[in-house]
Amino acid sequence: MRFIVNSSVLLKQLQALSGVISTNNTLPILDNFLFQLKDNSLIITATDLETTITSKVELDMADEDGSVAIPAKILVDTLKTFSSTPLTFTVEDESYTITISAGEGNYKLSGYDAEEYPKTPEVVSNSTLNIESSVLQKAISKTIFATGYDDLRPVMTGVLFKMTPESVTFVATDAHKLVCYKRIDLNVEEEVNFIIPKKPLNQLKNNLPSENTAVLIEYNQTNAVFTFGHVKLICRLIEGKYPNYQAVIPADNPNKLIVDRLLFLNTIKRVSIFASHSTFQVRLKIAGQELVISAEDIDYSNEAKERLTCLYEGEDIEIGFNSKFLIEMLSNLESENISVEMSSPNRAGIIKPVDNENQNEDILMLVMPVMLNN
């Protein structure tokens, strides 16, 4: 088995795939890339058994089809030292020794039998969704930060894809914050829900091309497949029923604050430096058309307070929030102004963009309050 490939082209593909490979694999074979040579194309696979990514590279020259597993770290580290150089790979059929030739240099490493490498899951599915890569990237970015880390509640460590004939909604929550991102320009024939884990979503976000590309999503009861360009990502779905997130969204919120998003965000960033490092609590006190944002750390006698002008309808209110959550949410919105809807100091606040330019999307962020220590 022998082929020639440009070092930069190969490195780019391997770096995109290497994020799947875990640092503490239980099976040593998972520390490798699977190389399959077929009809002048090189198909590269990386997997951690939960997520599998394959990518195809068109070659300058190929001789004798075959396959071999190649240690990932040493290969990537070697390729990083070359600057766009043609490399010749020669693989011995019986010993799986790989020789990489570049100019006057020869580098040998031991590979493994491709038969030992886990088989890529076959996903038989009649259910599909076509989505633009820019829309998918946005949906992941807007939701993934709100996923949880609690292994006792695995369904909350992923993002819910809720698809209906009317719309597609992406939901993430960790019980303290919730994001619901809805697209009415996407739909499927039959209603279906599935939960995608965080790791493959991060891999997907990192691998989606910058130019807009069509992404085909296929899914069944256990797996989902994302195909775009020469890349295919297959991931195992999280089993279980997603919590009824709509039940926690307060319907009646008579107190409505409208404020400049960037001004609000930067003020919270400044004030939160002086907040307690255990609660990260900032206090919002709204009266008339004035918003006072304050924080204090009693242990160190630190405190900060800033006044902002705002538009406000409702009764005077004083409410506390975790500043980290507010900063994450406001950073993931793009509109010039945002609204914060509240009912009382012990009920969740709802953050929405004001005057959203895209009529096809609807985004709602919910944050639970922190008990004020007067």
3-state secondary structure 348-363: CEEEEEECCCCCCEEE
> What is the predicted pLDDT for the residue at 132?
95
Listed residue (345, 340, 347) closest to 372, CA to CA? 345
Second CATH level (architecture) for the domain 249-370? Roll (3.10)
Do 127-246 and 249-370 have matching folds? Answer: yes
| The pLDDT value given to residue 374 | 63
Helices 133-143, 198-207: axis angle to 10 degrees equals 140
Q: Backbone dihedral region of 165: left (phi > 0), alpha (psi from -120 to 50 degrees) or beta?
A: alpha
pLDDT at residue 144 in the model = 97
| Average pLDDT of adjacent 10-residue blocks, the chain of 374 residues | 96 95 92 96 97 94 94 97 95 95 95 96 88 96 96 96 96 97 94 96 93 94 95 96 95 96 98 95 96 95 96 97 98 96 96 91 97 77
Distance CA 281, CA 343 (A): 19
* pLDDT for position 128: 92
Residue-range domain boundaries for the chain: 2-116, 127-246, 249-370
- N-terminal to C-terminal alpha carbon distance within the chain: 73
Contact 351, 257 (CB under 8 A): no
Q: Residue 97 has which token pair? A: 């020794």
Q: How far apart are CA 169 and CA 245, in angstroms?
A: 12
The CATH code of the domain at 2-116 is 3.10.150.10
Structure tokens at 30: 């998972």
Nearest of 173, 186, 161 to residue 358 by alpha carbon: 186
pLDDT of residue 26: 87
Where residue 176 falls (left for φ over 0; alpha for ψ -120 to 50; beta otherwise) is: alpha
- In this prediction, residue 334 carries a pLDDT of 93
> Quick check: 111 and 96 in contact, CB under 8 A?
yes
Q: In which order are the strands placed within the sheet that holds 158-163?
A: 192-197, 158-163, 168-173, 177-183, 361-367, 349-354, 337-342, 255-260, 311-313
Q: Which of 331, 329, 319 is nearest to 370 (CA)?
A: 319
**Cα 267 versus chain centre, distance:** 27
Distance (Å, rounded) from C-alpha 224 to C-alpha 50? 11
Helix (H) or strand (E) holding 13: helix 7-18
- Quick one: which H or E segment has residue 275? none
DSSP string, 166-186: S-EEEEEE-SSEEEEEEETT-
Confirm if 153 and 224 have CB atoms less than 8 A apart: no
Whether the full predicted model's pTM is greater than 0.85, yes or no, is yes
- Fold assignment, 127-246: DNA Polymerase III; Chain A, domain 2 (3.10.150)
> 119-122 long-range contacts, Cβ below 8 Å, gap at least 24?
120/45, 120/47, 120/52, 120/54, 120/234, 121/52, 121/223, 121/234, 121/236
Inter-residue contact 283 to 323 (CB < 8 Å): no
